[in-house]
Amino acid sequence: MLVGPGLRLVVHSLSSRPPTVVSDSICSRQRAHWYPYFDDMEAIIFLAPISSFDERLREDRRVNRLEDTYMLWQTLCSLQMLSKTQIILFLNKCDLLERKLRAGVRVRTHVPSFGNRSNDVDTVKKCIERFSSFPVACLGLPRLTFLLL
């Protein structure tokens, strides 16, 4: 069911309270419109494709996709209306990240904040793990965070 511009709602009945799956395929400027859909969620699963460090948003070619994902993650974790919601983080597409790094794609070329760190897989993954520390730092609330690397 389409519930908003670019926001698709899929409901699966697995228990007395069915989970809700929302696919974010909308442009970043319209995201604030879908926050109210999460106000009664028990948990949110957030997928962050870490291989997107060298990609740009379709709707705004000036915005790096990995940085946009991190900003969305920060916003989601900062919403007071979600202060009691567990947020589960999956850093996915590690295989694509490794492939890009081995092919010689330089992270600092696309993400200036990466600085002069080593361009090896372990260093890049460790830097990207900053995603997992944000929920506690933001609201001081414990969050269920899984890192799938």
Q: What is the pLDDT of residues 39-72, one digit of tens each?
A: 777 777 788 888 999 999 988 899 999 998 888 8
Q: What was the pLDDT predicted at 120?
A: 93
With CA atoms as reference, report the closest residue to 66 among 75, 57, 79, 77: 57
Read off the pLDDT band of 3 (50, 70, 90): very low
Among 23-27, 78-82, 129-133, top mean pLDDT goes to 78-82
What residue ranges define each of the domains in the chain, with the CATH number in brackets? 2-139 (3.40.50.300)
Q: Distance (Å, rounded) from C-alpha 99 to C-alpha 23?
A: 26
Higher confidence at residue 3 or residue 34?
34
Per the model's pLDDT, the better-predicted residue between 18 and 97 turns out to be: 97
Q: What is the pLDDT of residues 85-138, one digit of tens each?
A: 777 788 888 899 999 999 999 999 999 888 999 999 889 988 887 776 665 555
pLDDT at 5 over 70: no
Strands of 7-11's sheet in order across: 2-4, 7-11, 20-24
Q: What is the pLDDT of residue 7?
A: 47
Instruction: Give this prediction's pTM.
Output: 0.73
Per the model's pLDDT, the better-predicted residue between 105 and 24 turns out to be 105
